[in-house]
Amino acid sequence: MRPSLLQYLKLLLLLALGGVTTMHVPKPDVPSSLEALPVDGHFSFHDVSDAAWDFGNMSSFPPVAVLHPSSVADIATTVRHVFLMGEHSTLTVAARGHGHSLYGQSQAAGGIVIRMESVQSNGMRVHPGASPYVDASGGELWIDVLHETLKYGLAPKSWTDYLHLTVGGTLSNAGVSGQTFRHGPQISNVNEMEIVTGRGDIVTCSPEQNSDLFHAALGGLGQFGIITRARIALEPAPKMVRWIRVLYLDFASFATDQEMLISAEKTFDYIEGFVIINRTGILNNWRSSFDAQDPKRANQFESDEKVLFCLEMTKNFNPDEADNMEQEVNTLLSQLRYLPLSLFHTDVTYIEFLDRVHSSEMKLRAKGSVSSEYMISNVVSSFD
């Protein structure tokens, strides 16, 4: 008797539900085979819950093991072991920094998660000179890269808005912030990388050496290898930043001004635009960090139930250049069509500006009213 349409639908429903709830159960010999590997670090087999979540908070895939590597060789040994198991093996590997993936990319269902931050201790090496750069581990946090390079008066050219992420993590995506219009994303400012390939080989690559792997791994979402070291281009770091925010009610003026700024030869050093929807008292919130150009008129501004468009801009400077900076900023602002009462600005140190999202996150955490996942998301999306 031929199956009815209803039976087919029941089968499809069963398969769909099974796909959501099925646990990946590793073969009994997998943990023992991993324990036998000659690594200087160690595997965790029981305390793996932290590796079964990520920033997106939409997926939870427990691994069979978490590798805490002491060296790049540990990573290569583990990946090679999985590769030699053959194409029919279901064991997978995922590199994990701070777990800021959205859809489980830093998880490995029934597989092996590699804690990349475990190899931070290999240290950074800053090379000043005519073309300065820093060699940093893939598990190093960008905030630590900043602290180290500033000791030499240098800093990377391009950033993300949140610096408490790993070098390998953002380079596997793109690394985008308000400097991108000028310097490109972070992946455009890398001179060389060390990669552990899917075969477990440790390969050095650059635009001149193994260039196919170099360009594939940058922004490759970890599908072409694990970034274990990156050589990042540096530039002289300013000491101070003039940090500015202005608001628009009209999207066309907002977009036109932003396009003009990013296309101009002489412009701000950082430019980002974002939308604010129905944020009551937005200007009052800004007062804790910024000075209003016109405090009296700013008091009269009503933001309730309005869609607002914000331009956020900075101009870098050193203390002895403050007068020139002031003149350049005023010239640029005079060309914009923002709401005059919405001009807010403040002068902060370079590191205070770059680490602004984490600072706001800490303020929210001190209130103790929301989860850490929400805190970061809220800070990044609202900037107030």
| Residues taking part in catalysis | 100, 161, 272
Distance CA 359, CA 44 (A): 32
Distance CA 305, CA 162 (A): 29
The one-letter code for the residue type at 53 is W
As a three-state string, the secondary structure of the chain is CCCCHHHHHHHHHHHHHHHHHCCCCCCCHHHHHHHCCCCCCEEECCCCHHHHCCCCCCCCCCCCEEEECCCHHHHHHHHHHHHHCCCCCCCCEEEECCCCCCCCCCCCCCCEEEEHHHHHHHCCEEECCCCCEEEEECCCEHHHHHHHHHCCCEEECCCCCCCCCEHHHHHCCCCCCCCHHHHCCHHHHEEEEEEECCCCCEEEECCCCCHHHHHHHCCCCCCCCEEEEEEEEEEECCCEEEEEEEEECCHHHHHHHHHHHHHCCCCCCEEEEEEEECCCCHHHHHCCCCEECCHHHHHCCCCCCCEEEEEEEEEEECHHHHHHHHHHHHHHHCCCCCCHHHCEEEEEEHHHHHCHHHHHHHHHHHHCCCCHHHHHHHHHHHCC
User: Do the Cβ atoms of 56 and 75 come closer than 8 Å?
Assistant: no
Structure-block tokens of residue 3: 């199956």
Displacement of CA 322 from its chain's centroid (Å)? 31
